[in-house]
């Protein structure tokens, strides 16, 4: 397995700075963020790759990775599976950035559409996306994410069953599963089977505030509800050799971290994971 960083957790670093930071710590890859609003460094830019200047920003991100001898395993996009035009643009960006895959989010569930209807609509969308992936040569990754019908490994497999796993596959995210969709880690990996192609790494736990209300908080890889040793042992047993990309939001989401620096966070995460793999 190889260690990488999802650049969404380097919000206070521009493209060149982020690549230098990640490579300097010892990571082998960087998963560039695409089209999130209001990058911290100027409050305006759409992060490290932007559709406002797609070709130029994707090429610059690719060049920064190459200068620092980093692999770009995927692009972290906000594309929804029903956004055909956005997916096409992001697949084009992936080609320019040297990335073999992009994230394409599953449908969200809010109760307005019955689950069965939403599932069928989502399955039809990923059938179309499979052809787009075949045409472009860029893999579409479905993230296990709370609030979506892909929250669990079982739900994700049900959504993309029958698709070519070289065209449509899954991004395993145990940290998200703490919030929704938790299954036995080894069983979840077995359920995903050939569709498991990428992994995000973070940790969290449920806590009560002073009023007794339950909420979720991000914590260090060692302190949360995800037992990363168990997860990595299960990944090894399954023969997984891909990237483990850090998505550690301690200190805040998409903002300059409070209470810990980006550098210190990524160094701590690297040391912790390197000891396990």
pTM across the whole model: 0.96
- Residue 55 pLDDT greater than 90, yes or no: no
Higher pLDDT residue, 34 or 45?
A: 34
Looking at every residue in the chain, the average pLDDT score rounds to: 96
Average pLDDT score over residue span 253-274: 95
The secondary structure of the chain, three-state, reads CEEEEEHHHCCCCCHHHHHHHHHHHCCCEEEEEECCCCCCCCCCCCCCECHHHHHHHHHHHHHHHHHCCCECCCEECCCECCCHHHHHHHHHHHHHHCCCEEECECCECCCCCCHHHHHHHHHHHHHHHHHHHHHHCCEEEEECCCCECCCCHHHHHHHHCCCCCCCEEEEECHHHHHHCCCCCHHHHHHHHHHHEEEEEECEEEEEECCCCCEEEEEECCCCCCCCHHHHHHHHHHCCCCCEEEECCCCCCCCCCCCCCCHHHHHHHHHHHHHCCC
Q: Which pLDDT does position 60 carry in this prediction?
A: 95
Q: Which pLDDT does position 34 carry in this prediction?
A: 95
Question: Which domains are delineated in the chain?
Answer: 2-274 (3.20.20.150)
- Residue 51 pLDDT greater than 90, yes or no: no
Q: Which pLDDT does position 38 carry in this prediction?
A: 79
Q: Which pLDDT does position 89 carry in this prediction?
A: 93
């Amino acid at each position: 397995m190889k260690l990488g960083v999802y650049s969404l957790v380097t919000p206070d670093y521009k493209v060149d700075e982020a690549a230098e930071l990640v490579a300097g710590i010892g990571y082998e890859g960087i998963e560039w963020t695409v089209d999130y609003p209001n990058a911290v460094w100027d409050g305006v830019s759409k992060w490290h790759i932007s559709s406002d200047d797609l070709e130029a920003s994707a090429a610059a991100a690719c060049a920064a990775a190459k200068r620092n001898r980093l692999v770009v395993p995927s692009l972290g996009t906000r594309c929804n599976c029903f956004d055909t035009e956005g997916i096409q643009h992001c697949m084009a960006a992936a080609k320019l950035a040297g990335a073999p895959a992009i994230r394409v989010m599953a449908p969200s569930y809010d109760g307005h559409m019955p689950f069965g209807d939403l599932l069928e609509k989502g399955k039809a969308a990923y059938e179309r996306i499979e052809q787009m992936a075949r045409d472009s040569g860029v893999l579409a990754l479905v993230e296990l994410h709370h609030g979506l019908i892909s929250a669990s490994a079982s739900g994700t497999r049900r959504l993309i069953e029958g698709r070519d796993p070289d065209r449509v596959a899954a991004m395993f995210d145990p940290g998200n599963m703490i919030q929704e969709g938790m299954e036995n880690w080894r069983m979840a990996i077995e359920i995903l089977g050939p569709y498991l192609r990428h992994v995000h790494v973070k940790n969290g736990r449920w806590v009560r505030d002073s009023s007794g209300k339950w909420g979720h908080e991000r914590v260090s890889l060692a302190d949360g509800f995800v037992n990363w040793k168990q997860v990595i042992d299960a990944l090894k047993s399954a023969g997984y050799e891909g990237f483990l990309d850090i998505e550690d939001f301690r200190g805040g989401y998409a903002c300059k971290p409070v209470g810990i620096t980006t550098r210190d966070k990524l160094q701590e995460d690297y040391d912790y994971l390197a000891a396990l793999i």
